[in-house]
Amino acid sequence: MSFVERYGPWAVVSGASEGTGRAFARKIASNGVPCILIARRTDPLASLAEVIRAESGLVCPTAAIDLTSPDAINQLVAAVGDREVGLFVSNAGADPNGMRFLDRDIDVWLEHVRRNVITTMSCCHHFAKLMRARRKGGLLLVNSGACYGGASFMAAYSASKAFTLNFGESLWAELRPHGVDVLNLVLGRTDTPAFRAVLAEKGLPVPPDLASPDDVAQIGLDRLPQGPIYNWGLADDVAGYAPTSAGIRRSRILAIDMATKQIYGD
């Protein structure tokens, strides 16, 4: 199938206002699929919609939604309306805090978990059920190398990313027989406005080896059919900064999936 046949006729991109989300929306549109653009801020979304219209001629609706809100999924579903969504890119999930867990109010971390875990899970449940029925589609979960272990300043962030890793792997195993692709796109340091803002706040220089959002978007879309994991900058058989390589994790998931089917059935 072509990209449009496999992942169209509509895509949803969360966290689309800047950085990798903006790059994903432009790349997806360049492949012929218009996007429903989701983020908190109205003006950057409107600007992106105009850029995409100029580049590809596609009209992309926008919706300003706070994904930390308890009813974010209801707002998002309402924004999509009756459009058929063949691709969901979960891109909202950065940590703007850069603080130790006990140095921020608990409500800050609860909002973080609502956005990175609850809203992501709710969106995948809604869109994947429809994709499974159509036997095609894709879920692309933008993740972080923090998913592989915790550290100071990352308690809630790394925990939420570990959830996304295991959640995405499980969905890949569950949905692959139904023609639905799932990818955890595990990133390292990426040149986004959010990351630069954290560096500026801490008085730190910008590292020279940041990944570009455009490269992230292109490789993420290229790797989506292969799932369930792509570790940024690493070959499929190289562990690198991850405990195990993407290839070994894929084999492990398939082995566990087979074992669980012996208990629960197909």
235-252 pLDDT tens trace: 999 999 999 999 999 999
Q: What is the CATH number of domain 3-264?
A: 3.40.50.720
- Residue 259: C-alpha distances to residues 164, 179, 244, 249, 265 (Å): 22, 21, 20, 15, 10
* Alpha-carbon span 254 to 148, nearest angstrom: 19
- Express as a percent the part of the chain with pLDDT over 70: 100
* Alpha-carbon span 6 to 24, nearest angstrom: 16
Per-residue pLDDT reduced to its tens digit, 87-144: 999 998 788 787 899 999 999 999 999 999 999 999 999 999 999 999 999 999 999 9
Give the other-Cβ count within 10 Å of 45's Cβ: 25
Q: Which amino acid is at 205?
A: P
Angle between helices 213-223 and 19-30 (to 10 degrees): 50
* Alpha-carbon span 175 to 200, nearest angstrom: 41
Q: Are strands 62-64 and 35-39 parallel, antiparallel or unpaired?
A: parallel
Q: Are 61 and 80 in contact (CB under 8 A)?
A: no
Give the other-Cβ count within 10 Å of 135's Cβ: 11
Enter the tokens of residue 173: 């195993």
Helices (H), the chain: 3-7, 19-30, 42-56, 72-80, 106-113, 120-134, 155-175, 193-202, 213-223, 246-264
Q: Are 156 and 113 in contact (CB under 8 A)?
A: yes
Per-residue pLDDT reduced to its tens digit, 165-201: 999 999 999 999 999 999 999 999 898 878 888 788 8
3-class state of residue 67 by DSSP: coil
Q: Which amino acid is at 166?
A: N
| Mean pLDDT of the region 60-82 | 97
- Express as a percent the part of the chain with pLDDT over 90: 86
Angle between helices 72-80 and 120-134 (to 10 degrees): 40
Task: Spell out the domain ranges in the chain.
Answer: 3-264
Among candidate residues 53, 214, 54, the one with its CA nearest the CA of residue 62: 53
Q: Are 93 and 38 in contact (CB under 8 A)?
A: no
Q: Residue 57 phi/psi, 5° resolution? A: 80, 0
Residue of 1 and 123 predicted with greater confidence: 123
Q: Are 121 and 93 in contact (CB under 8 A)?
A: no
3-class state of residue 25 by DSSP: helix
